[in-house]
């Protein structure tokens, strides 16, 4: 009987570890795709260079991507009291962030990828899991 209880406890601990591992992987992907603070000094053609550097140009070009130029703590805060819940489980920041949005020129998603950029302050909309951002909602600019 003791083993049954121990087995159940072990199962719960392993399930929690796997769930947190998944959130950690999603948060790391979010950072790779959307976090750039301070803004990288890559010279001309920021978007072309950053999209390639962050692995979003192969095997096909990602059509739209936004980089956030602020601290991780301020971005994470949007998942808490620094943001407000909106529809579909998304959260909108209460304060504006400096961001650069990269949009593909043309309609082909085949490399080589060519982007235009727009850097401006704006509110960000993200999805969160366990208090960490895991998705940037590009459609809510």
128: how many CB neighbours lie within 10 A of its CB?
A: 21
Our answer to whether residue 45 is catalytic in this structure is no
Of the residues 74, 76, 135, 140, which is catalytic? 135
Our answer to whether residue 34 is catalytic in this structure is yes
Give the integer Cα–Cα distance in Å for 48 and 42: 10
- CA-based nearest residue to 70, from 44, 47, 96, 33: 96
Rg for the chain, CA atoms, rounded: 18
Of the residues 27, 30, 34, 68, which is catalytic? 34
Work out the end-to-end distance of the chain between its first and last CA atoms, rounded to an integer number of angstroms: 56
Residues with active-site annotation = 34, 135
């Amino acid at each position: 009987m003791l083993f049954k209880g121990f087995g159940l406890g072990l199962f719960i601990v392993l399930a929690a570890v796997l769930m947190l591992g998944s959130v950690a992987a999603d948060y790391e992907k979010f950072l790779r795709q959307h976090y750039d603070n301070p803004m990288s000094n890559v010279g001309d053609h920021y978007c072309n260079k950053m999209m390639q550097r962050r692995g979003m140009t192969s095997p096909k070009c990602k059509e739209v991507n936004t980089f956030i130029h602020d601290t991780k703590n301020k971005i994470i805060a949007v998942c808490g009291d620094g943001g407000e819940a909106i529809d579909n489980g998304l959260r909108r920041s209460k304060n504006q962030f400096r961001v650069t949005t990269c949009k593909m020129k043309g309609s082909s998603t085949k490399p080589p990828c060519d982007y235009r950029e727009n850097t401006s302050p704006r509110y960000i909309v993200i999805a969160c899991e366990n208090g960490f951002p895991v998705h940037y909602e590009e459609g809510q600019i």
